Amino acid sequence: MLHQTSPWYLHFAQNAALIIISLFFLPLSTFILFSSYGLAFFFPQDGPRRRRRVRASRTFVPQTILITGVGMTKGLVLARLFYEAGHDVIGADFEPNGVQACGRYSRSLRKFYRLPKPTAEDGSAYYINALLRVVKQDRVDLWISCSGVASAIEDGQAKEVLERRSSCRAIQFDVATTSMLHEKDTFTQETERLGLPVPETYNVTSRDAVHKVLNQSPKRKSYIMKSVGMDDAVRGNMTLLPRRTVSETYNHVSQIPISDQKPWVLQQYIKGKEYCTHALVVNGKVKGFVACPSAELLMHYEALPSGSALSRAMLAFTKEFVARSAKSMTGHLSFDFLVDEDADEKGAKLMLKTIECNPRAHTAVALFSGQAQEVSKSYLSLLADNMVNGNGHSPESEAEPIVVPDHSAKYYWVGHDLISLVLLPLLQLVQGDTQLKDWVRGCSEFMAHVLFWKDGTFVVWDPLPWWWLYHVHWPGQFLVSILQKRRWSRINVSTTKMFLC
């Protein structure tokens, strides 16, 4: 993996190689694209068929849904689900550097709008005004925010403006709630205040503060430092502190850019399995929930059985957090958990501890694919107070069951797996850095995913976003990186995020 100090020619070669790989596979992808159109023409697919059946009902009144972030898997999945459920879907997203988002070409969208991205210089006014124009012009009933981490606070501001100046309702937390959940330090403080378990956590704004905590802690404890703000360059650094020697510890801490303006948290390291969750919260009630195994860069999704002890425990935590919060929350709520195993003379017991919260939609929403009616109904429960009979949905009741995935499908992204499981290990094999058996194992895993898993972006009845993602969007981003001499270490195919270094 390249980093900030890697020579520029290596970064150039990385971008150029990925563009060449895209061109190499372009004929195969194009064949799959037109084959999908032919297959969908001669053999009607479930999604469009469900939509026609719902729209044929005389009692159904479609709602107009605005979904931002359709260039990412999570936004695209929700757009397709609402399309299947018979509603009119409008998509919007940022398209920095003029590179078009793959979601704009989805069959599920009635319209697409390019939004101005909030910046430190211009603030959020242009972004919010653009959203408000879309809402008023297209008479949007519900805005579902699926934007990324960079615009979390601005989405909270937009929610307050939209609901104040139009009849549109928003699946998005307000500014105060978003800010509290978004920042690692304030989220930890709030969780402790609510009496829920979190790892031992300290706010630190100087290197002296870091060393003071480390010197006073028991020797058997280890800690991880996390930047309170968004910093791609250090996000993947999971170095355990203290290091093996005092000098190594001081050397590592000395390289961390820490100050009052750039605070960090020092969080106890828990050696256990990591899980993540995605929840839809409407008016203080959890309406949808899924839990799955997690990773630092999660690109393979498999839902935990909803009846499993771990899934039930994480759902209980989510419900308890929402119930104990002072406000009636509405938005997407995603927690990251670690399972802490504590052993004594009575045996071993497992404890869930939440380490982070993401107040936005999670890519795990892809695990709800195929459940259009259930998912759309849970979102539209926000409009229940304004609904009348004959709109195709009855108002939600307190006893309405929480929507969980009803299938065991597993999801991957073919572009990510092709590079990480096949091509990169092949390069390492040529260089003598890995063994043939390891490369064969990676190829076998890749083929198993292709044959038995589902791609997070591809569906037969809507294949163009998948084709566009790999042969226009990402090559465009790599070309921009070459022209602007941007250095990056990793990319997340599902969220289209490039981690700059």
Most confident of 22-26, 234-238, 336-340: 22-26
What is the distance, to the nearest Å, from the Cα of residue 342 to the centroid of all Cα atoms in its chain?
Answer: 31
For the beta carbon of residue 27, count every other beta carbon within 10 angstroms: 9
Average pLDDT over residues 434-457: 97
Confidence band, pLDDT 50/70/90 cuts, at residue 260: confident
Minimum mean pLDDT range among 190-194, 265-269, 326-330, 430-434: 326-330
Confidence band, pLDDT 50/70/90 cuts, at residue 236: low
Residue 296 has a pLDDT of: 81
Cβ neighbours for 87, distance < 8 A, ≥ 6 positions apart: 62, 63, 64, 65, 376
Distance separating alpha carbons of residues 12 and 485, to the nearest angstrom: 8
Residue 7 has a pLDDT of: 94
Average pLDDT over residues 193-216: 90
| CB 33, CB 467: distance < 8 Å | yes
To the nearest whole number, what is the mean pLDDT of the chain? 91
| pLDDT tens per residue across span 127-163 | 999 999 999 999 999 999 998 877 889 999 999 999 9
Q: For residue 380, give the nearest of 85, 146, 80 by alpha carbon.
A: 85
| pLDDT tens per residue across span 83-105 | 999 999 999 999 999 999 999 99
User: Is residue 29 predicted with pLDDT exceeding 80?
Assistant: yes
Residue 34 has a pLDDT of: 98
Cβ neighbours for 271, distance < 8 A, ≥ 6 positions apart: none
Minimum mean pLDDT range among 228-242, 274-288, 360-374: 228-242
| pLDDT tens per residue across span 277-302 | 999 999 999 999 999 999 888 999 99
Structure tokens at 151: 């615009």
Average pLDDT over residues 247-264: 90
Going from the C-alpha of 59 to that of each of 12, 384, 390, the distances in angstroms are 58, 16, 5
Average pLDDT over residues 13-34: 98
Residue 408 has a pLDDT of: 87
Distance separating alpha carbons of residues 182 and 177, to the nearest angstrom: 8
| CB 443, CB 422: distance < 8 Å | yes
Residue 384 has a pLDDT of: 80
Q: For residue 311, give the nearest of 347, 279, 355 by alpha carbon.
A: 279
Residue with the two structure tokens 């100046």: 165
Distance separating alpha carbons of residues 364 and 304, to the nearest angstrom: 11
Q: For residue 490, give the nearest of 278, 296, 300 by alpha carbon.
A: 296
Distance separating alpha carbons of residues 1 and 487, to the nearest angstrom: 11
Tell me the percentage of the chain whose pLDDT exceeds 70.
94
Residue 389 has a pLDDT of: 39
Structure tokens at 26: 């372009």
Residue 412 has a pLDDT of: 98
| pLDDT tens per residue across span 426-439 | 999 999 999 999 99
| Residue 496 burial (C-beta neighbours within 10 Å; 0-12, 13-18, 19+) | buried
What is the distance, to the nearest Å, from the Cα of residue 240 to the centroid of all Cα atoms in its chain?
Answer: 26
Residue 341 has a pLDDT of: 67
- Across-strand partners of 288? 280, 403
| CB 306, CB 405: distance < 8 Å | yes
Residue with the two structure tokens 């498999």: 302
